[in-house]
Chains A and B, each alone.
Chain A
Amino acid sequence: MSKTTNKRNGKFRTKSISTILYPVLFGVIIVVLWQTQILHKIIGADTFTLPLPGRILGIIQDNVPGIAKNVVATVIVAVGGLILGSLLGYLLAIVATIFPKWGSGGLTIVSAFNAIPIIAIAPILNNLTKDFSKDPNIRSMLAKMLVVMLTCTVSMSINAFRGFNELKPFSEDLMKSYAASKVTVFMKLRIPNSLPYVFTALRVSVPASVISALVSEYFAEYIIGVGRQIRENIVLAQYATAWAYILVACFIGIIMYVILLITEGILLKGRR
């Protein structure tokens, strides 16, 4: 027993080393090309539209408190919307599985919401949430969260629905042969089966939640957030500062994604 775990650990270690090493090496190459402006020559951009990494990092260094304030606002919106949207999507998938005939129609309606662009949803939600709070910061945060929620619901509901229904062959029949109740089938078979699908959905939703949080900030009533800063600086042609915020946005996404991967690794350990 102990031998196998050891072996597994060893394998896991070399695996995880290459998992980190490869992308880091690739990243270093890109950054070197970028800083030496070879990248600019390859893609034909100049240092104004694609500023050098050194300058971008310098700006981040100079503005830590200001950036932190914006990051907090963006993270609250992205995470809040992600959680709300994923829960709603999962719930919808459950409903759709219990009532398959009615549920799939509902999923279509949900996906229709996803087809409305954020730039159209954001102003509607801004107006609809006006009475929610007297404080513009709070109510615009709610509006932004709802936008993120809508973008996260769809991929979760579609994937989770698949997870509930694409069971291993005969497993459902087996449960039935044990005379298991519908609830038992759900708890013991469907929900565990849906887990990998949930993570597939989250792998799409996590980047999507960050990006839609950024876009929803463009239109929010209260001026705060990484997205708003990116827009302000792009419009003012301050590309170096805009890229500083873009870099920060990427970091938010990466950190959220890494957290997701770690969680996935822990929860799905026995399965792979």
Chain B
Amino acid sequence: MKNLSMKKAITLILVLAMTVTLFAGCGNESSASNEVTPTAAAEATAAAEATSAPAGDESTGAYYAADATAESIVLDAAAKGQVGNWGLGNEYEVQALLSKYGQPTTYLSQAFDMDGFDDDTILLASAMTYNELGLVKNSYDGAYGYGDSVKYIDMNDEGVAMLEDNIFTTKEFAEANPNTVKAFIYASMQGWQYACEHPEEAAEIVYKYGSSVSSDHQAYMASEVKKLVETDMSGATVTNYGNMDESAMQQTLDLAKQYISLDDSQAADALQALTLADIMDASYWEAASASDGTFDAPEKTDVSIQLKWLPQAQFMGYYVALDKGYYTNVGLNVTIVQGGGDIGETTAVYTGQVDFGVTWVSNLIAANAGGMNLVEISQVFQRSGLVLVYKINE
């Protein structure tokens, strides 16, 4: 209730501020940003002072000291309102990190690119280890070439990690086609194993299947994705590909419940009522990993899987399985459907356009809260690939 009236007050102030600035002609450098959330900003500075040693550490330069703590960097960037994320369901880990250090959970919207980080409008920018981080550090075509002059805060180290790429389908499909599901998981994991053992070759294979990613970036991506598949949140090595670790899933679900905010009260209630049993079913993966590769005749042989994005090494396991004939070996004829748009993979699977999908666990949770009946059948990435990248003083 208190929260609501506060929201109202902020709204009012915001509206006033915007009207004023509009009348003022938008021309002058406005201080509206300070007016937007005066309380939050004040709290933030207070907190920053309390914990002492804010970033920079009196060293020269506009950025952060090489040895600055994660806490001091988060506090400084949050106080300046220069923490970036893409939103659209990717923001929960960053919000959890901001909350961890007592900051408001607002962030700037990062575009498709890292231009905001490049031109210093974002001091602490979201990046996936296998994609944006490579673009920031490396210097091939399209990349920014920062090399070692950037460092990052890892969500896994901060204890706010959420699980990402998985394989999911609808509950109805899984129940009606158990053999297909098991065979699909088995062949996909074979693909992932091969891809992780031979990342360069896997990158080449993805490239062959109509990739729109440059080959340099593809190779980088493959090497980084391998780490996410073979290491868990605590840094321990994972050997059983696609393992569904309940504690990591629980952490993801708990954070999702805290930070997914839904305007639809019906969906919001449904979200809070979700349990692990509503979003995952490990039985198919267990059967697949215990199998020797022979399955009862699949109920459906022609199946499709929709990726979360355009073909790139992030999905190398499926392309390798397709290329090496692992899917054919288990009697499946698989079509890989490109993602990469605003009609999400959750919707595509739900409407029956495709049979399987690759999505982030948090997206699956939000979709189920909204009324879908999706179920995770295998967890491919064992740790969070999200980091917050910042520049360090030379």
Contacts and interface: CB of A to CB of B under 8 A. Distances in A.
Interface of A: 48-49, 55, 58-59, 62-63, 65-66, 68-69, 72-73, 76, 80, 123, 126-127, 130, 133-138, 141-142, 219-223, 228, 231-241, 244
A76 B267 CA distance: 31
A75 to B, nearest CB: 10
B29 A69 contact: no
Contact of A136 (B81, B87, B370): B81
A233 B14 CA distance: 23
B21 A238 contact: no
Interface string B261-282: 0111111000000000000000
List the 8 shortest-distance A-B pairs measured between CB atoms, nearest first: A135-B33, A237-B367, A69-B11, A236-B366, A241-B264, A235-B88, A241-B263, A63-B263
Given A134-B29, A236-B88, 6 more contacts: A63-B263, A136-B108, A236-B370, A238-B262, A238-B264, A238-B267
B178 interface: no
9 contacts: A135-B30, A138-B26, A142-B26, A219-B111, A221-B116, A228-B87, A234-B343, A235-B89, A237-B344
B113 A48 contact: no
Contacts of A55: 266
A217 to B, nearest CB: 10
Interface stretch (B56-64, B242-250, B321-329, B345-353): B345-353
A123 B119 CA distance: 14
A92 B15 CA distance: 33
A176 to B, nearest CB: 42
B19 to A, nearest CB: 8
Contacts of B22: 76, 80
A231 B32 contact: no
Contacts of A76: 18, 22
B170 to A, nearest CB: 12
B11 A65 contact: yes
Which of B15, B81, B88 counts the most A-chain CB atoms under 10 A from its CB? B88
Interface in B118-138: 119, 121
Given A138-B30, A221-B121, A232-B88, A241 B267 contact: yes
A69 B14 contact: yes
A233 B369 CA distance: 12
Contact of B370 (A68, A126, A134, A239): A239
A196 B367 CA distance: 49
B293 to A, nearest CB: 35
B115 interface: yes
Nearest to B21: A138
Q: How large is the interface on B (under 10, 10 to 19, 20 to 34, 35 or more residues)?
A: 35 or more
A133 B112 CA distance: 22
Contacts of B31: 135
Given A76-B18, A123-B111, A123-B113, A59 B263 contact: yes
A219 B262 CA distance: 21
A138 B28 CA distance: 10
Contacts of B32: 135, 137-138
A68 B14 CA distance: 11
Interface string B330-356: 000000000000111011001100000
Nearest to A131: B119
A237 B108 contact: no
Interface string B1-27: 000100110010011001001100010
A132 to B, nearest CB: 9
B8 A62 contact: no
A221 B108 contact: yes
Nearest to A67: B263
A221 B109 contact: yes
A127 B370 CA distance: 35
B299 to A, nearest CB: 24
A130 B116 CA distance: 9
A180 B151 CA distance: 73
Contacts of B344: 234-237
A127 B71 CA distance: 30
Contact of B346 (A62, A65, A133, A237): A237
B352 to A, nearest CB: 10
Nearest to B118: A127
A126 to B, nearest CB: 6
B350 A241 contact: no
Contacts of A130: 119, 121
B145 to A, nearest CB: 18
A65 B266 CA distance: 18
Contacts of B81: 136
B372 interface: yes
Contacts of A80: 22
Contact of A222 (B108, B264, B371): B108
Interface string B362-385: 010011001110000000000000
